[in-house]
Amino acid sequence: MLTPRRRVRGPRAFTTSLALAAAVVLAVSPAAAAQSTAQADGAIAVSSLSSTTEIPGSVAGSLGSLAGPAYAEYVALGDSYAAFGDDTKPAGGPAGCARSLANYPHQLDANAAVGALTDATCGGAQTKDILVETQFPGAPPQIESLEADTDLVTLSIGGNDVGFGTIVGCITAHLRPDGPAQPFDCRETIGGAVAQDIALVFGADGAVDDVYAAIDEASPNATVVATQYLPLMPAANDDGCFFTTAIGPANLEWAREITKAINDAVDAAARRNGHFSVLPVSDTDRSGCAPVDERWVVFADGSQNNTAAFHPTALGQQAMAAAITAAI
């Protein structure tokens, strides 16, 4: 784990409490490569990541060879997938935002080529909380943290707008310790509504486009990197575990499809607005079914990884920071 440098600039904006104890049940296709290079779908393959203690092409990689900060003013915007929520390493700011020193903004900031960090991430954030909403005292709209000289912005947003809580609520509705009890067919019950929300939120002139327009207006020279959502589900059925067995094969497949749809939409919106997105991938299982010390995400119980249910782990945050580094 990288140790963040304590030179974080005092933030002017923070947003949203960790509103969702269960965020989303997601999945992704198998890893496609073993080099730190951009993929056609915007994903970043960060080697095979077979080691849980060192990430090839990591945050100390290519950027670290530059003389002086390549990005002097870095602002991190987004929801709980960026804030992280590990309360053993609080990063300050409004308590409800649940920012951690182990989140990917702080891990990226540990690179000498990245300058002062303003961490405006906040658990539960929606697009409105970046643009106009003060969710609670001390957490004004995140966009207010941007300045004209901001030259690097990372963005994790949209998942809560399309109903992460609704998705996970449907999939887990009938789970019990001894196995499933006729789980809902979530594709049938909410699939259409979720697909419609993805199209509205991430589509042309949707809420995510409004976020990009606001970022470009506030910080016209900034490099903007959107981070896709780390998948919770294993890519292959033979990597299954109790949770994936309990939700049933139909919901498992639907969860994978919804994850791909959301991440494809994140990437499409970024590209449409002249930016790009990243997603670390691995040829090793990093899902909630993986061993505790290899997981990038957790299912319902995050206690062993000091993270909230259905959220990334510190290792997942490290992988995301490495993917951003490889991309910029």
Alpha carbons within 13 angstroms on the beta-carbon side of residue 253 total: 6
Q: What is the 3-state secondary structure (H, E, C) of 261-328?
A: HHHHHHHHHHHHCCCEEECEECCCCCCCCCCHHHCCECCCCCHHHCCCCCCECHHHHHHHHHHHHHHC
Closest CA to 50 of 37, 31, 67: 31
Question: Helices 191-202 and 207-218 sit at what angle, rounded to 10 degrees?
Answer: 30
- Catalytic residue chosen out of the listed positions 17, 36, 80, 145: 80
Site of tokens 């300058």: 115
Alpha carbons within 13 angstroms on the beta-carbon side of residue 290 total: 27
Which residues sit opposite 297 in a β-bridge?
Answer: 312
Q: Which residues lie below 8 Å from residue 53, measured CB to CB, with a gap of 6+? A: none
CA distance 192 to 232: 21
| Alpha-carbon separation of residue 77 from 89, 107, 163, 236, 295 (angstroms) | 19, 15, 19, 32, 24
- Catalytic residue chosen out of the listed positions 58, 100, 219, 311: 311
Could you tell me if 148 and 251 are in contact, meaning their C-beta atoms sit under 8 angstroms apart? Answer: no
Known catalytic residue at 80: yes
Provide the pairing of β-strand 223-227 with 276-278.
parallel
CA distance 142 to 157: 11
Known catalytic residue at 106: no
Site of tokens 């106009």: 132
3-class DSSP state of 216: helix
Catalytic residues: 80, 311
